[in-house]
Amino acid sequence: MIERLRGPLLALWSAAVLAYLFVPVAIVVLFSFNDNRGRFNFVWQGFTLEHWRHPFDVPDLGPSLVTSLEVAAVAVAGSLVLGTLIALALVRHRFVGRTATNVFVFMPLATPEVVLGASLLGLFITMGVTTGLATIAIAHVMFCISFVVVTVAARLEGMDPHLEEAAADLGADGPTAFRKVTLPLIAPGLAAAGLLSFVISIDDFVITQFNAGQELTFPLFIFGATRQGVPPQVNVLVTMLLLGALVAMFANLAVQRRRSVADR
Amino acid sequence: MARRRLVPYALLAPGLAWLLLFFAVPLATQVYVSLQTGSIEEGYEFAWNWSTYETAVTEYREQFLRSLGYAGTATVLALVIAFPLAYFVAFRAGRWRNLLLLLIALPLFTNFLMRTVAWQTILTDDGFVVDTLRALGLLGDDGRLLATRTAVVAGLTYNFLPFMALPLYASLERIDRGLIEAATDLYAGRVAAFRRVTLPLAMPGILAGCLLTFIPAAGDYVNATLLGSSRTVMVGNVIQSKFLDITDYPVAAALSFVLTLGVLAIVIAALRAVGTRSLSEAAAR
Amino acid sequence: MPEEPIDRIVERMLEGDDLSRRTFLRRLGTAGFAVSGAATLLAACGGAEGGGDEDRDVDVTHPKVPIRNWTFSNWPLYIDPAVIKDFDRRFGARTKYIQDINDNQEFFGKVRQQLQRNQPIGRDLVVLTDYMAARWVRGDYVEPIDKRNVPNVRNLQDNLRSPKFDPERNFTLPWQSGMTGIGYNRKRTGREIRSVDDLFDPRFKGRVTMLEDPHDSAGLVLWSQGVRPEEASIDQVLAAIDKIDEENRKGQIRRFTGNDYTQDLTQGNSWIATVYSGDVFQLREDNPDIEFVIPEEGGVIWTDNMMIPERAAHPYAAETMMNYVYDPKVAAKIAAYVNYVTPVKGVQEELAKSDPELARETLIFPDAATRRKLSPYPDLDAEDERRMIEAMARVTGA
């Protein structure tokens, strides 16, 4: 009997978990429409589009988002380049210190963010570097590299290494083979890694808190706001970011689907 | 010939240099700081001050154990909750697969702080959830969820659930269906096939998911700040407070070093058990 | 030949008179810059703070320069944004106003290393509470104020003219004062709240929040133990903290908060809390059942102070802002917006013109009877303050 129930039970469980994942997100989106009286946004008081019409009314909010986007752009670019190079080395080559490198690259993931942030700040102070936009960007590139390596390496592993050999046989040298053969094939992996880095960078709070100096990023703004009442405009912007990420993901999926059709 | 051998090192150089300078060196500096004495008024000086480690381990033992406990509980909960979901998406979802994966990843595209703030609204004392639990008798009439460890663990579980579900899915998805079919032919039933074939093959994913959940959870302090109380303070809170507020840098550094070592030990043990290649395989989409 | 006043020299320079540059530099050399030079040397030698504050030369001149970009760091929601706009319009300035001070300790931690290394912290004006202001003055982290640029300082209320940490107000100038008292939800508590001990009424178990800053929390508890906070010894303070610890272990205190006690109160998670007077107006707007009371034993009054961090790039701009907000008209605007206790004389009369009800509000203009019940924070030296903060940190779990 259990056998018979297994199917629907599994589906039901999955639905429940997805709902569970979804509810807080729904609340964030919902409260962007809350017609709140005072400066707090916890109790539903009515529906309004006002906040959507003026999402940047709150001082410092717009600039903080711009700062976050700037940092994210640098983080994605930097980590994609550095991380992909590392991934290529790890997957395609055998060399002395490979295991050690593997472990080393994963270590930032195994280190609590508090530790990463605090120690990096210590370094900057010792070097006499003023913390600000540049130091935030440096920190973000640092912790995104590991994510990129994991994602791109996974994609590389799934790729047939003989394709590169074939290209070499046909007369292509290293960089050309990479450009014309490997790169297109791992492109979805790069896109995924890029999106992942972007999301992680935009969302980062702990490490940024230690290294921001005078700058205010979007999460830093939110944390400050939690003590005084988070304005609904924050909900609006978070929803916009969410929609943006969704669009990007759908686009990536659509491109992938078209590719797989074309490959057939 | 010699040039070919240098290629991997050339590829590694920029990225590794970056990590060395901005990850390894700072950590080493922290060790140096942890052995200092002094205060913010007098200034600090290096003095082989091992007492900071003694303080870290004795005075904050409770917070350490608590952090490991909360993180461990959250990991187990996340595994139990996410596994059936991952299984469903890997084996039963068909063409809805990508959509479901998207839904799983959805929370990750919403700001971490805002998600946790949303939980403050959901779990409020006068809210739907608490009322229901009181009606069901699971909570006393005076009971509450916010400012308790239940809320903190629940927050941790929620926030890291996608990090558990996605690697699980990736690992399950790669399993050759033929193997499972063969297993059901050979063994008595589907449960046995699951236990003997599916589960072991899913191990890399389980490992990856557990690590990606446990490690950040152990060092987290945001959930404890927003959802907890003085009785749920985790070691991350202590480090943050000691570093940013109290500016007791030596003890803060000692605390973070001990935390890092503890977590690292667990990671290395786990990686040894399963092997690092499987980890990157598990992360494949 | 009498030495030329420095503003005259600058004026001539601005008019293009080159000969005076040498004179200008010579004057600078003999005045303030010699002092900072010595301080830098001391700091470089040992990283220690304190450069002999008694002998500090506080006669400094900040020449009048055009105000363009400058940076003002403050607590959130502590100014009417229109005031900044008006200031910018009036002086042709571009003020960068950042609301990044959420906690005294936390802010100090952020900039502490730069201060100790005598590096500029990227801000020209900051606002910090008394005890932190005292620490900065003690540690030589602040620029003296050129009072010539702040004539409106004559509007400073008499009772704030001479704090212990800055008897002549050479380095600090009050921004706002505030009161720490008890906020409670009348409906939930079922009765009026009058005393500090009501916080520990077992009927409110798990429904009480207290501020994590020991200055506030221990301050209130000290009153209930018969001690006036500003006269308390470190042992008395620690005893007060012990009491808080005891109640916390019993589960009486739901949690310790920063400025975020507002959330629990409005949502009904907490019924009674230690709160700041300025938040009450907003709280009442969200939940009309909320009331504020200065406990009958006594309450705490604190002041946030404007200071110019050392090596600030635009001290003149900072002083102009200080002068600007000490104009009663501007101060009235700020008071109406932030709802805290203004340090400027003449605001009550000014406000009565536009908003008579607000001018009568005792939360913004406490009367003499209320003021008698209010005491500033405990006055401790650096070592004792550290002990207090560490003791409280142990109670709050960190």
pLDDT confidence tier of residue C29, bands split at 50, 70 and 90: very low
Check residue C362 and report its DSSP letter: T
> Is the CB of residue A229 less than 8 Å away from at least one CB of chain B?
no
Residue B252 exposed, middle or buried by CB count within 10 Å (0-12, 13-18, 19+): buried
Give the tens place of pLDDT for each residue, A85-138: 999 888 888 888 888 888 899 888 878 888 888 888 878 877 778 778 899 999
Nearest CA of chain B to the CA of C270: how many Å?
Answer: 9
Q: Say what the pLDDT of residue B276 is.
A: 54
Question: Which tens digit of pLDDT belongs to each residue from B97-123?
Answer: 888 888 898 888 899 999 999 998 899
In the predicted model, what is the mean pLDDT of residues C303-320?
94
Three-state DSSP class for C161? Answer: coil
Least confident range of A1-10, B250-259, C375-384: A1-10
Mean pLDDT of chain A: 85
Tokens of C390: 């560490």
**How many CB atoms lie under 10 A from the CB of residue C249?**
12
DSSP helix, strand, coil percent of chain A (3-state; round to 5): 80, 0, 20
Query: What are the distances in angstroms from CA B267 to CA B75, B98, B171?
Result: 14, 30, 19
Q: Which of B228, B116, B131 is nearest to A28 (CA)?
A: B116
pTM over 0.95: no
Share the mean pLDDT of chain C.
Answer: 84
What average pLDDT does range C58-80 have in this prediction?
Answer: 88
pLDDT at C57: 61
Kindly state whether B43 is in contact with chain C, defined as any CB-CB distance less than 8 angstroms.
yes
Element (H, E) at C290: strand C290-293
d(CA C262, CA B120) in angstroms, rounded, equals: 13
Residues near C139 by beta carbon (within 8 Å), at least 6 away in sequence: B41, C49, C50, C115
Give the pLDDT score at C34.
38
Nearest to B109 by CA among C104, A199, A16: A199
Helix (H) or strand (E) holding B37: strand B36-39
Whether residue A155 and residue B284 make contact (CB cut-off 8 A), yes or no, is yes
Average pLDDT for residues C325-329, to the nearest whole number?
94
Distance CA C323, CA C193 (A): 40
Which residues does chain B have within 8 Å of residue A18's beta carbon, measured at their own beta carbons? 85, 100, 103-104
Q: For residues C278-304, give the mean pLDDT.
A: 90
Percent of chain B scoring above 70 in pLDDT: 92
Domains belonging to chain B, first-starting first, are 61-282 (1.10.3720.10)
C262 closest CB neighbour out of A40, A43, A128: A40
- Backbone phi and psi for residue A57, each to the nearest 5 degrees, phi listed first: -65, -30
**pLDDT of C51 strictly over 50:** no
What is the per-residue pLDDT for A118?
A: 82
Q: What's the pLDDT score for residue C271?
A: 94
pLDDT at C52 over 50: no
Which of A195-209, B261-275, C269-283 shows the lowest mean pLDDT across its residues? B261-275
Quick check: C308 pLDDT over 80? yes
pLDDT at C50 over 50: no
Q: Given this chain, do its domains C64-176+303-357 and C178-302+371-396 carry the same CATH topology?
A: yes
The DSSP string of A12-78 is HHHHHHHHHHHHHHHHHHHGGGB--SSS---S---B-SHHHH-TT-STTHHHHHHHHHHHHHHHHHH
Chain B: nearest CA to A216, how far in angstroms?
A: 15
Cβ-based neighbours of C288, under 8 Å, separated by 6 or more: none
Q: B2 falls in which pLDDT band (50, 70, 90)? A: low
- C354 vs A129, residue with greater confidence: C354
Contacts 24+ apart (CB under 8 A), B173-180: B173/B90, B174/B281, B174/B284, B175/B90, B175/B201, B175/B202
Adjacent-strand bridge partners of C172: C307
Q: Which of B152, B151, B146 is nearest to B234 (CA)?
A: B152
Each domain of chain C, given as residue ranges in start order, spans: 64-176+303-357, 178-302+371-396
Beta-carbon contacts of C377 under 8 Å, excluding residues fewer than 6 positions away, are C129, C130, C131, C215, C216, C219, C229, C230, C300, C302
If pLDDT is split at 50, 70 and 90, which confidence band does C56 have? low
Q: Please indicate if any CB of chain C lies within 8 Å of the CB of A42.
A: yes
Q: Is the pLDDT of residue C148 over 70?
A: yes
**Residue B263: closest CA among chain A residues belongs to which residue?**
A110
For residues A21 and A160, the model is more confident at A21
Q: What are the residues of chain C with a beta carbon less than 8 Å away from any beta carbon of chain A?
A: 71, 76-77, 81, 97-100, 102, 110, 113-114, 117, 119, 121-123, 258-260, 262-263, 266-267, 282-283, 285-286
Determine the pLDDT at residue A149.
Answer: 93
**Interface test with chain B among C269, C386, C387, C390, by most B beta carbons within 10 Å:** C269
User: What is the average per-residue pLDDT within B127-142?
Assistant: 84
Find residue A34's DSSP bridge partners. A47
Beta bridge partners of C98: C73
Query: Is the pLDDT score of A65 beyond 80?
Result: yes
Instruction: Indicate if the pLDDT at residue B250 is higher than 60.
Output: yes
What are B163-194's pLDDT values in tens digits? 899 889 888 888 888 888 887 777 667 777 78
- Give the residue from C194, C218, C197, C138 showing the smallest Cα distance to C171: C138
Q: Say if residue A95 is exposed, middle or buried (CB neighbours under 10 Å; 0-12, 13-18, 19+).
A: middle
Please give the Cα distance from A247 to C114 (Å, whole number): 43
What residues contact B247, with CB distance under 8 A and at least 6 apart? B39, B40, C105, C108, C109, C112
Measured between alpha carbons, how far is C2 from A26 in angstroms, rounded to an integer?
75
Q: How many interface pairs between A and C have CB atoms less than 8 angstroms apart? A: 63
Contacts of A252 (CB under 8 A, 6+ apart): A188, A191, A192, A195
Per-residue pLDDT band at A148 (split at 50, 70, 90): very high
Intra-chain end-to-end CA distance of chain B, in Å? 35
Lowest mean pLDDT among A67-81, B109-123, B258-272, C40-54: C40-54
- Using the beta-carbon criterion (under 8 Å), do B117 and A23 form an inter-chain contact? no
**Architecture label for domain C178-302+371-396:** 3-Layer(aba) Sandwich (3.40)
pLDDT band at C145 (very low <50, low <70, confident <90, very high): very high
- Of the pLDDT bands very low, low, confident and very high (cuts 50, 70, 90), residue C329 is very high
Cα separation, C46 vs A144, in Å, equals 38
Structure confidence by residue, pLDDT tens digits, C358-388:
888 888 899 888 888 899 999 888 889 889 9
Q: Which residues are within 8 A (CB) of B233 and not within 5 positions of it... i.e. 6 or more apart?
A: B63, B66, B224, C396, C397, C398
Q: Do B42 and C48 touch (CB under 8 A)?
A: yes
- Interface check for B242 against chain C (CB to CB < 8 A): the answer is yes
Per-residue model confidence (pLDDT) at position C318: 94
Interface test with C, best of A42, A56, A129 (most C CBs within 10 A): A42
Superfamily of domain C64-176+303-357: Periplasmic binding protein-like II (3.40.190.10)
Mean per-residue pLDDT of chain B: 84
In a 13 Å sphere around the CA of C109, the CA atoms on its Cβ side amount to 24
C396 vs B124: CB contact, 8 Å cut-off? no
Chain C contact present for A184, CB below 8 A: no
Spatial distance between the Cα atoms of C304 and B281, rounded to a whole number of angstroms? 57
- The proportion of chain C whose per-residue pLDDT surpasses 90, expressed as a percent, equals 54
Region C264-280: mean pLDDT is 90
What percent of chain A has a predicted confidence (pLDDT) above 90?
Answer: 31
pLDDT tier, B22 (very low <50, low <70, confident <90, very high otherwise)? very high
Identify how many contiguous H helices and E strands chain B contains and give both numbers: 15, 2
Asked if the model's pLDDT at residue B281 lies above 70, the reply is no
pLDDT surpasses 90 at C22 = no
Q: What are phi and psi of A50, to 5 degrees?
A: -55, -45
pLDDT at C214: 94
- Compare A115 and C391 and report the one with higher pLDDT: C391
Contact of A40 with chain C, judged by CB distance below 8 Å, is answered with yes
CA dihedral A86, B13, B163, A219 (to 10 degrees): -130
Distance CA A212, CA A132 (A): 5
Output the CA torsion sign for A139, A141, A146, A147. positive
Sequence-distant (6+) residues with CB within 8 A of A149 are A83, A86, A87, A90, A105, B15
ipTM of the modeled complex:
0.83
- Per-residue model confidence (pLDDT) at position C270: 92
**Beta strand residue intervals within C102-189, DSSP E:** 126-129, 142-143, 172-185
Answer CATH for A74-230 from 3.10.310.30, 1.10.3720.10, 2.40.160.20, 3.20.20.210: 1.10.3720.10
* Residues whose CB falls within 8 Å of the CB of residue C263, separated by 6 or more in sequence, listed in order: A40, A42, A229, B120, C269
A137 contact partners, CB below 8 Å, separation of at least 6: A70, A71, A74, A75, A78
Q: What share of chain C is helix, strand, coil (3-state, %, to 5)?
A: 50, 15, 35
Is the Cβ pair A99, B88 closer than 8 Å?
no
State how far the Cα of C287 lies from the Cα of C262, in Å rounded to an integer. Answer: 10
